[in-house]
A and B are shown apart, each in its own frame.
Chain A
Amino acid sequence: MSPLPGTAPPACKLQIDGLTKSYGSVVALQPTRLEVPAGEFLTLLGPSGSGKTTLLQMICGLVEPSGGRILIDGRDETRTPVHKRDIGLVFQHYALFPHLTVSENIGFPLRMRGVAAADLDRRVRDALDMVHLGHLGDRFPKELSGGQQQRVALARCFVYQPSVILMDEPLGALDKKLRERMQYEIKRLHRETGATIIYVTHDQEEALAMSDRICLMNHARIEQIGTPHDIYARPKTAFAADFIGVSNIFRGSIQRDDGGAPILVTGGGRFRLSAAALADGAGQGEASLIVRPEQLDLDGDGDNEVSGRVVDTVYAGSETRVLVALGDQSTVTVRLRRGMAPPPLGDEVAVRWRSEAGVLVS
């Protein structure tokens, strides 16, 4: 999705300015600002009720905003009716027309745009080939499997090259294996067409795997926006750390040790903080220290240490996780180093990590 050589830097395709929605006294979306450059794959990620679907439905015009503006290619489209908005929406349950064949479903948006018959047939065929369903054009949707229906829904959306493509948990109804295959498919379509895609999901692994940027939402507002790596490695809040990946969170207060170095004092111990962590996060008072399981080490190196007892080991194929209960009733999750045998249950172990690995959030 880097721009082709010779073209202008990516223009702002979609701009959301102070957009808000409330139903009576219930706020479905706090005033929100968001800019999406052309060609980006942006994921709206969050638990249910976080406002991501409301935001999506306002962008495509199915829900009328209570305030704010939506600009597409710089044009104000806030009050444009749905059918004139030039937006593609892939529905959660596909919303294929049951009375039309696969080809007719895909041809529908073209027919609505008055595309000539010959051109229409060609584009429908191309779209079918693009999703590898060239042989199923004359079937009805109910005669297809879930994954095939999903492909038809994608083809119906990509075929008319809308300015922005919105996808509302499109893979939610598929099983895990198929879901992963379709993730590759969608990424491929994105690469091949250069479309701007806004993708809604509550599945953090899906978001990490697919997105250029993730927009993490919670309590009807944006919690954090950034690249997947950004959000995973440098979460800005405890919610962000907890929602994405597995995190060990130590709550405590920031103090100085005898040498004047910053430390976090918690119920389970006193931990050194790196200068970088301090610069990013909060400076004073209460804070949470986030350390990922792969940064913890059993009986390894590190300038921070807690000790505890092994209560469980979880084998997950590519990795093994060890749950260690600490003195203050909390547990931490440690990813076992490759080749290391899991410790027996009940063993006393020391868990260590380097202070640079920790991220401090307020």
Chain B
Amino acid sequence: MSAAILHGHAAETARRRLRFGPLWLAAPGLAFLAVFFLYPVLRLLGLSVQDLDAGTWTTEHYTRIADTGVYFRVLLGTFRIAGLTALFSLLLGYPLAYWLAQLPERRRGTMVLAVMVPFWTSYLVKTFAWMIILGRTGVISRLLSAGGLPAPEMLHNEFGVMVGMVHAMLPLAVLTMLPVMTGIDRRLVQAAETLGAAPGHAFWLVYFQLSLPGVAAAGLLTFISSLGFFIVPALLGGPQQTMLAQLIITQIQEMLNWAFAGALATFMLAAALVTCWVYDRVFGLSTLSGEGSRRGSGGGRLRRLGLRLLAGMAAATALAARLAAPVLGPRGRERLPGLYSALVMVFLVAPALVVVPIAFTSSPFLDFPPPGYGLKWFAVYFQSDLWLGATLRSFGVAFATAVLATLVAGLAALALARSTSRWRGTIFALFLAPMIVPRIVIAVGLFYLFAQIGLVATDLGLVIGHTVLALPFAFVAIAAVVKGHDWRLDQAAATLGANRLQTLLRVTVPLIRGGLVAAFLFAFITSFDELTVAIFVSGGVKTTLPKQMWDDMILQLNPTLAAVSVVVFLIVMALLVIAERLRRSGR
């Protein structure tokens, strides 16, 4: 009987705590996102249907898009490039992720670096590398002409854009699919084989199906990220490959046409949201954060059609394997996946390495290989007030962003982990939303808001903007760890006499430290590498490192950029190593 009383009492305190406690921890984050994310984005969408002078509603900006062939072509071209990028990232990335997933854990940890390093390398550095490699006097052209072959034009066309985009998105695709694949119980494949399934059948009918949520999540993230991309098409593409984000930047920076920019942004946002909606219908958005609550695989007829399709794939694979077997031999078949993975990893890592010798060139040009070596361009960098000022500003802004984002996201993650409120799903979605809404839309919206409250060209403006963008990453990193946290330990601390704050600081925080470190790091690097907000919000002398690189790359390529790239690369790698050390010592 006393047990019943105890139980009832516990239930009651739990209920009371749920009502007043946990969810309030999410309040700072919610307020922040409401003011600096929801409001600016909605305001921008509002601008597109408002006639500011007359104070009435209008659809003129939308009819202009529909009537002007150029805009419509850019719209279609943007979807096309984003779609193709997602497709190729999945096709190239799936076998690599599969190969990584089946490695023993320690070797996987090492091999994953070949994906991690490019993932964390600045988009600007990667794009700069491709300009050196694909340019008319670039590495590949030289190699081809040395062999007496005509060098095709590889830059400022669709080829250049696709190479750059796929290279930029491939790590994201692989890193999204990998955890789903490592979570697949390999014994299921063994079970299929003992039941008579040939390896090809076992793969398509069991493994592939179970990996589908990862594939879909990777497709979603790469497609949405590609939609709002402008660095790669601006630097590697030609006028034919202009993407929506570039158009929006031009409308704001050169025409100051907010309403039209808002209309373009609406299209981009609508495309992103529709993609998300479809994904949510099929898989459920929560799989994105690894919550893994898959909807019942219902939908009888569609499901059976899918199963039949996969059976067809399996039969085709079996046939291909039979045909290829005599060519490859048993050893070839064993080595093929490893060989393929090595090639893809070289594709991922090699470009950044090309930048290094250029940084040490003695020539004022980007010749490869350099005619001589020296530290000339590092000297230029370290003696330039502009470059050093930009570097320091980026550091300061990134640090402030990381602290703010980790704090706000940490509180929110704790709140949601313990809450059973019906608002939980909505709040969860809101914290992930800045990852889904294209950055350019957020950046333009913030620019409009900041212009009104005087935050343009201030460090505070940059920190706020970067925190909005970094929040989802920090949130996911902490939520993943909090999900595995054993709350009974907190109860144990309470029974041993710790109050709530002591419990939080002495038990919870030390145990979720890995997630906090990861969140801090994600936020720091997100800010350190951020260009979209910086393009609008940092101006004049108050420039950030990526903004300064971008301006130089638009104006004139020079070896100083290579030296800066090396510095940025080393800083980010040093951060990753420190974070990994901290995380390990925390165990």
Contact A95 B297 (CB under 8 A): no
B198-227 contacts to A (CB < 8 Å): 198-199, 201-202, 205-206, 209-210
Contact A83 B193 (CB under 8 A): yes
Contact A95 B196 (CB under 8 A): no
A contact residues around B195 at 8 Å (CB)? 83, 88, 108-109, 112, 156, 160
Per-residue CB proximity of B260-298 to A under 8 Å, as 1/0?
000000000000000000000000000000000000110
B142-194 contacts to A (CB < 8 Å): 185, 187-188, 190-194
Contact B196 A112 (CB under 8 A): yes
Known: A83-B202, A93-B187, A95-B185. A140 touches B194 (CB 8 A): no
Query: A61 to B185, alpha carbons, bound, how many Å?
Result: 18
Contact A95 B188 (CB under 8 A): yes
Known: A95-B188, A97-B206, A99-B210. A83 touches B296 (CB 8 A): no
Contact A82 B190 (CB under 8 A): yes
A237-293 contacts to B (CB < 8 Å): none
A contact residues around B198 at 8 Å (CB)? 83, 112
Say if the beta carbon of B386 comes within 8 Å of chain A: no
Known: A97-B188, A99-B297, A112-B201. A83 touches B194 (CB 8 A): yes
Say if the beta carbon of B567 comes within 8 Å of chain A: no
B contact residues around A104 at 8 Å (CB)? 307
A contact residues around B112 at 8 Å (CB)? none
Max chain A C-beta neighbours (<10 A), residue from B196, B206, B297, B307? B196
Say if the beta carbon of A60 comes within 8 Å of chain B: yes
Query: A201 to B296, alpha carbons, bound, how many Å?
Result: 35
Query: A91 to B192, alpha carbons, bound, how many Å?
Result: 11
B contact residues around A89 at 8 Å (CB)? 191, 194
A21-74 contacts to B (CB < 8 Å): 60-62
Contact A109 B296 (CB under 8 A): no
A contact residues around B307 at 8 Å (CB)? 104
Contact A62 B194 (CB under 8 A): yes
Contact B296 A140 (CB under 8 A): yes
Query: A85 to B191, alpha carbons, bound, how many Å?
Result: 13
Closest to B195 in A: A109
A83-105 contacts to B (CB < 8 Å): 83-89, 91, 93, 95, 97-99, 104
Contact A83 B199 (CB under 8 A): yes
Say if the beta carbon of A176 comes within 8 Å of chain B: no
Say if the beta carbon of B197 comes within 8 Å of chain A: yes
B contact residues around A177 at 8 Å (CB)? none
Say if the beta carbon of A135 comes within 8 Å of chain B: no
Q: Which of A95, A113, A140 contacts B191 (CB 8 A)?
A: A95
Contact B194 A87 (CB under 8 A): yes
Query: A60 to B192, alpha carbons, bound, how many Å?
Result: 12
Contact B193 A95 (CB under 8 A): no
Q: Which of A60, A99, A140 contacts B209 (CB 8 A)?
A: A99
Query: A156 to B190, alpha carbons, bound, how many Å?
Result: 14
Query: A89 to B189, alpha carbons, bound, how many Å?
Result: 13
A contact residues around B199 at 8 Å (CB)? 83
B contact residues around A88 at 8 Å (CB)? 194-195
Contact A98 B190 (CB under 8 A): no
A contact residues around B188 at 8 Å (CB)? 95, 97-98
Contact B193 A82 (CB under 8 A): yes
CB distance from B544 to the nearest CB of A (A): 47
B contact residues around A60 at 8 Å (CB)? 194
B contact residues around A93 at 8 Å (CB)? 187
CB distance from A105 to the nearest CB of B (A): 9
Q: Which of B187, B209, B210, B311 contacts A95 (CB 8 A)?
A: B187
Closest to A109 in B: B195
Query: A304 to B296, alpha carbons, bound, how many Å?
Result: 69
CB distance from A109 to the nearest CB of B (A): 4
Contact B194 A82 (CB under 8 A): yes
Closest to A104 in B: B307
Contact B197 A108 (CB under 8 A): yes
Closest to B185 in A: A95
Query: A82 to B196, alpha carbons, bound, how many Å?
Result: 7
Contact B196 A160 (CB under 8 A): yes
B contact residues around A62 at 8 Å (CB)? 190, 193-194
B contact residues around A82 at 8 Å (CB)? 190, 193-194
CB distance from B89 to the nearest CB of A (A): 24
CB distance from A127 to the nearest CB of B (A): 13
CB distance from A210 to the nearest CB of B (A): 22
Closest to A57 in B: B190
Query: A112 to B199, alpha carbons, bound, how many Å?
Result: 11
Known: A95-B188, A95-B190, A99-B210. A113 touches B196 (CB 8 A): yes
A contact residues around B185 at 8 Å (CB)? 95
CB distance from A176 to the nearest CB of B (A): 24
A contact residues around B187 at 8 Å (CB)? 91, 93, 95
CB distance from B534 to the nearest CB of A (A): 45
A contact residues around B197 at 8 Å (CB)? 83, 108, 112
Query: A89 to B194, alpha carbons, bound, how many Å?
Result: 7
Per-residue CB proximity of A147-162 to B under 8 Å, as 1/0?
0000000001000100
Known: A83-B202, A108-B197. A140 touches B297 (CB 8 A): yes
Query: A112 to B297, alpha carbons, bound, how many Å?
Result: 22
CB distance from B295 to the nearest CB of A (A): 11
Query: A140 to B298, alpha carbons, bound, how many Å?
Result: 10
Closest to A156 in B: B195
Closest to A108 in B: B195
Query: A88 to B192, alpha carbons, bound, how many Å?
Result: 11
Query: A109 to B193, alpha carbons, bound, how many Å?
Result: 9
Query: A256 to B197, alpha carbons, bound, how many Å?
Result: 65
CB distance from B7 to the nearest CB of A (A): 23
A contact residues around B192 at 8 Å (CB)? 97, 108
Query: A113 to B199, alpha carbons, bound, how many Å?
Result: 14
B contact residues around A61 at 8 Å (CB)? 194
Closest to B206 in A: A97
Contact B210 A83 (CB under 8 A): no
Query: A57 to B480, alpha carbons, bound, how many Å?
Result: 36
CB distance from B309 to the nearest CB of A (A): 14
CB distance from A116 to the nearest CB of B (A): 15
Closest to B297 in A: A99
Query: A87 to B192, alpha carbons, bound, how many Å?
Result: 12
Query: A97 to B310, alpha carbons, bound, how many Å?
Result: 15
Query: A83 to B190, alpha carbons, bound, how many Å?
Result: 9
Closest to A98 in B: B210
Closest to A143 in B: B296
Query: A62 to B202, alpha carbons, bound, how many Å?
Result: 14
Max chain B C-beta neighbours (<10 A), residue from A95, A140, A160? A95
Known: A83-B202, A95-B185. A109 touches B196 (CB 8 A): yes
Max chain B C-beta neighbours (<10 A), residue from A87, A91, A99? A99
CB distance from A173 to the nearest CB of B (A): 14
Query: A95 to B190, alpha carbons, bound, how many Å?
Result: 9
Query: A133 to B203, alpha carbons, bound, how many Å?
Result: 28
A296-342 contacts to B (CB < 8 Å): none
A contact residues around B311 at 8 Å (CB)? 111
Closest to A94 in B: B191
Query: A88 to B196, alpha carbons, bound, how many Å?
Result: 9
CB distance from A252 to the nearest CB of B (A): 49
B contact residues around A160 at 8 Å (CB)? 195-196
Query: A111 to B311, alpha carbons, bound, how many Å?
Result: 10
Max chain B C-beta neighbours (<10 A), residue from A60, A81, A108, A156? A108
18 A-B interface contacts by CB (under 8 A): A81-B193, A82-B190, A82-B194, A83-B194, A83-B202, A85-B194, A89-B191, A89-B194, A95-B187, A95-B188, A95-B190, A98-B210, A104-B307, A112-B195, A112-B196, A112-B198, A140-B296, A156-B195
* Nearest 9 CB-CB pairings of A with B: A95-B191, A112-B196, A109-B195, A82-B193, A89-B194, A83-B193, A95-B187, A99-B209, A112-B197
By a beta-carbon cutoff of 8 Å, the part of chain B in contact with chain A is 185, 187-188, 190-199, 201-202, 205-206, 209-210, 296-297, 307, 311
**A82-B190, A99-B297 are known contacts; what are 4 more A-B pairs with Cβ within 8 Å?**
A62-B193, A83-B194, A98-B188, A104-B307
